A and B are shown apart, each in its own frame.
Chain A
């Protein structure tokens, strides 16, 4: 009898997964956004503990750091004048960029994250009522975070770039050639590039798909390994580490859809 009950649960799980993927793909994300506060307590505590540890380790070298900063300050003063000229040039460039790239819609707090190892999703504390909707790119000062896949009234679910269902068009920051970065949880990316692309360990990859979901040129990841290429392979594969530390994210920037 127990075996029959188990088989029943197996069939139920398979049926539920099929229904979710084909009939109601948005349902889990909608519910996840609603129950996020239940899972936010531990996440908030962990962020605070990590931030405290980070601060503590920073302050251990405070004296040495202070001396270095004084030296750096003198150097920076010298550089200041040249920077002002550069600033004017960048302002003009930024004005051009703002007319071509999407604007910032909102800055949202990260209130929860998926605690399992197989998905990598975040819940942020703004939703439809704040102007957010599915498909909006999400970034941070360090780089691309992901994309909103579901927006509730006051919360939204973000699929990060290391989620197994994530696909991001990329190219090396300093050389041409476009490829696709696939999410590999818990914290890596597998990138397929044309064999002609010149890429090395340490290179930065930025977003760069034509008519894609993400704006051009957002930093995404640093190449950590060039994978061996089988004879005759039409693409080269590299492994990359995202520039964003998802565990330390407290706020993200939501951009308007392209």
Chain B
């Protein structure tokens, strides 16, 4: 129930921030932060399933190809579980490294799907105008969003 409430809250926050930012600026990806917040509390199998389901919801909200965001988020969750064996999620520096690498994994998932559908990679402008601002804003918002998610979800593992 708390996870559903957090998801609902994240959707509202995501659309609010997207609406407030200038059109030229790609918004932060709170779906990604939500997936990691949930993954840090769920066993890996449930975490991957949650990430995939949230990705499908994001695909439907975007009226885009089904599976696009789902693959990105499930890749991020898988990277999260892999990295957590080596790094401690509870420690801020390690958390920053996990966030960064999981974000790269998410875009790795996007790239795989774009190549699967079009036999092409993303154009250079996408990296500069979407990937870079989205990554910087997402990482900048993480220290605010993740404690908020902790407070809503209660104590983690």
Contact = CB atoms under 8 A, between A and B. Distances in A.
B126 to A, nearest CB: 7
A114 B64 CA distance: 10
B67 A16 contact: yes
Contacts of B68: 13, 17, 118
A40 B15 CA distance: 8
A20 B65 contact: yes
A246 B74 contact: no
Contacts of A103: none
Contact of B117 (A17, A117, A246): A17
A15 B67 contact: yes
A247 B22 contact: yes
Given A32-B62, A185-B26, A50 B48 contact: no
Interface in A1-17: 2, 5-6, 9-10, 12-17
Nearest to A48: B19
Contacts of A188: 24, 125, 129
A113 B18 contact: yes
B21 to A, nearest CB: 7
B116 A186 contact: no
Given A21-B117, A42-B16, A50-B20, A116 B60 contact: no
Given A10-B74, A117-B26, A27 B66 contact: yes
Interface residues of A, number: 54
Contacts of A81: none
B70 interface: yes
B61 A114 contact: yes
Interface string B91-111: 000000000000000000110
B112 A10 contact: yes
A21 B65 contact: yes
B25 interface: yes
Most buried by A among B22, B52, B61, B123: B61
Contact of A112 (B15, B20, B129): B15
Given A2-B44, A118-B126, A42 B60 contact: no
19 contacts: A9-B71, A12-B52, A13-B113, A17-B71, A31-B60, A31-B63, A32-B63, A33-B63, A39-B61, A42-B13, A43-B18, A45-B19, A46-B20, A47-B19, A115-B18, A117-B130, A118-B126, A119-B62, A157-B63
Interface of B: 11-27, 29, 44-45, 48, 52, 55-56, 58-71, 74-75, 78, 81, 109-110, 112-113, 116-117, 123, 125-126, 129-130, 133-134
Interface of A: 2, 5-6, 9-10, 12-21, 27-29, 31-33, 35, 38-43, 45-47, 49-50, 112-119, 121, 149-150, 157, 184-188, 190, 245-247
